[in-house]
Every structure is written in structure tokens, then in C-alpha cells.
């Protein structure tokens, strides 16, 4: 299994997961032309994507999902709550198959087994996912205001982990956002800060962990060096071992062996 990012942050998110001939796109918060360009940067064409999974309805995750799906007839999987709140983005004539998923029920697409799990976020029915190929497990967690025992159980024993480190608490408090936005971002239904992400990480079984990539960093309220320090301290590893997903470049393919 391998995985790569189209970009990660407040203006657009997308993650590609590949196992043999199965290629899935998790979210697409980019315009159609930009999404195609970012997919090509990874050596792929949209026609090679077998499915798009959607975590929740916010524009930085769904902005390009339905245009891409309609243009290339790519099936889409999402919860009922996300479906209801995303209808304004959908074309009148759907050229793709739409699959409604249960936030707790596992399912398979091609060679990948997928486990959705609910997360606390200010959306209608948000989920995140783990992906398994029978040998390895990739966990993804972004857009969650706090951890839960269920999140920690789901993300334990991953071989690779993409983990939200949205903001530094002090930078958010002293930053340019208005008070209401600061409260939303830092609240229970907002986004994980660096120390909360590190605390969550410390509760997981990380004995198999080959890759960790910090994602959804705020460009105004965080800095990669702060993320590296927080996560490396928890794992007891060198700071440079912590990967960072950027807004513009995402990150290149990472292989799970």
C-alpha cells in the first residue's frame, strides 16, 4: 500500500490511497482543473481513480468532489448526513454512482478494506477512515476537535498515520482570527491543536508505525517546527522523521512495507 497527498490545509484537502490496481481519493477540496493538475503531479490520471470517499461537507473537502466524479464517472462514498448537506454542490444529472455509508460499518472497494469512524466536528455526520490491505493499516484523522476512546481504539496499531495538527494554542489565541472563529477552531467540534494531537498519539499502539504525517496545518496559526517538536517528543524520534503535509504540495508517495 502507498499513499500521497494532493494538498492539506484550510483551502483544500485530498489524499490518494493505492493498493495494486485500487486507487481511492479521500476528499477533494480543489477546483476541477487544480485537482487534475495535482493528481497528475502524482503520476496519475483521474480515469485511474476507482472511488472518492468524503469525510464531511465543508468546502475544503468537497469543493471538487462532485465535478471530478461527474466528469470521470467516479463512484462516491459518503454518509447520509454529508449527502444531505452536499446536495447544493451536486450536478442535476449524476453521471456517477453514489453510495451512502454507515459511520461504523466497514466496507471494501477493490483491494482495500475501509473502516469509517465518527469524529467530533461541526459538520452534519463527519467521519474519518482507516484503510487496510490485509497486511498493513493506514489511519487518517483530520477535522476533529477532540479525541475519543473510539478514535484511539480505531487508530491503534497503524503502520502509517495521517494526523491533524491544525494549530498551536498560543498562536491561535494571539493570531488574526476574530474571537468567534478562534472559539470555533479551538473548540470541541473544531480542530486538533499540536499538543492534543501529541497526547492522542501517545495513547496509541505505535509499535508498527512506519510513517506519520502531520496534516491540515493552519498557515496562520501554526508552524511545522512546532509540530515536529510536539510529535517527536511523544514518539521519542528525531524531529525530521515527522512528515508534514503542505497546502500547496501535499506530500509525495509514501510506501508501507
Question: What pLDDT, on the 0 to 100 scale, is given for residue 159?
Answer: 98
Over the stretch 159-193, which tens digit does the pLDDT of each residue have? 999 999 999 999 999 999 999 999 999 999 999 99
The verdict on domain 2-249 having CATH code 3.40.50.670 is no
Tell me the C-alpha distance between 208 and 224, whole Å. Answer: 24
Q: Average model confidence (pLDDT) for the chain?
A: 98
CA distance to 55, 63, 161, per residue, from 80 (Å): 11, 18, 26
Q: Please compute the mean of the pLDDT values over residues 76-85 and round it to a whole number.
A: 98
* Beta-bridge partners for 22: 19
Question: What pLDDT, on the 0 to 100 scale, is given for residue 141?
Answer: 98
* Beta-bridge partners for 21: none
Query: Counting every residue, how long is the chain?
Result: 257
Q: Please compute the mean of the pLDDT values over residues 226-236 and round it to a whole number.
A: 98
- Strand, helix or coil for residue 11: coil
Over the stretch 122-148, which tens digit does the pLDDT of each residue have? 999 999 999 999 999 999 999 999 999
Question: What pLDDT, on the 0 to 100 scale, is given for residue 200?
Answer: 98
Question: What pLDDT, on the 0 to 100 scale, is given for residue 54?
Answer: 98
Domains of the chain by residue range: 2-249
Over the stretch 91-129, which tens digit does the pLDDT of each residue have? 999 999 999 999 999 999 999 999 999 999 999 999 999
Share of the chain above pLDDT 70, in %: 100
Amino acid at each position: 500500500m502507498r499513499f500521497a497527498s494532493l494538498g492539506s490545509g484550510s483551502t483544500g484537502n485530498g489524499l490518494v490511497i493505492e493498493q495494486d490496481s485500487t486507487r481511492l481519493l479521500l476528499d477533494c477540496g480543489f477546483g476541477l482543473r487544480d485537482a487534475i493538475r495535482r493528481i497528475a503531479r502524482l503520476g496519475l490520471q483521474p480515469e485511474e481513480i476507482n472511488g472518492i470517499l468524503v469525510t464531511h461537507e465543508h468546502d475544503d473537502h468537497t469543493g471538487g468532489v462532485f465535478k471530478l466524479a461527474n466528469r470521470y464517472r467516479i463512484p462516491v462514498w459518503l454518509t447520509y448526513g454529508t449527502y444531505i448537506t452536499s446536495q447544493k454542490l451536486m450536478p442535476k444529472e449524476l453521471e456517477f454512482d453514489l453510495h451512502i455509508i454507515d459511520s461504523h460499518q466497514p466496507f471494501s472497494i477493490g483491494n482495500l478494506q475501509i473502516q469509517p469512524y465518527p469524529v467530533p466536528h461541526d459538520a452534519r455526520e463527519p467521519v474519518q477512515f482507516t484503510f487496510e490491505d490485509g497486511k498493513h493499516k493506514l489511519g487518517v484523522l483530520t477535522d476533529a476537535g477532540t479525541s475519543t476512546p473510539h478514535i484511539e481504539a480505531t487508530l491503534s496499531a497503524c503502520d502509517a498515520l495521517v494526523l491533524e495538527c491544525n494549530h498551536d494554542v498560543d498562536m491561535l489565541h494571539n493570531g488574526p482570527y476574530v474571537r468567534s472563529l478562534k472559539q470555533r477552531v479551538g473548540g470541541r467540534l473544531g480542530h486538533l491543536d499540536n499538543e492534543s494531537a501529541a497526547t492522542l498519539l501517545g495513547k496509541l499502539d505505535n509499535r508498527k508505525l512506519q510513517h506519520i504525517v502531520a496534516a491540515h496545518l493552519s498557515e496562520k496559526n501554526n508552524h511545522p517546527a512546532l509540530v515536529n517538536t510536539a510529535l517527536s517528543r511523544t514518539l521519542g524520534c528525531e524531529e525530521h522523521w515527522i512528515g508534514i503535509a503542505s497546502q500547496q504540495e501535499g506530500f509525495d508517495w509514501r510506501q508501507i512495507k
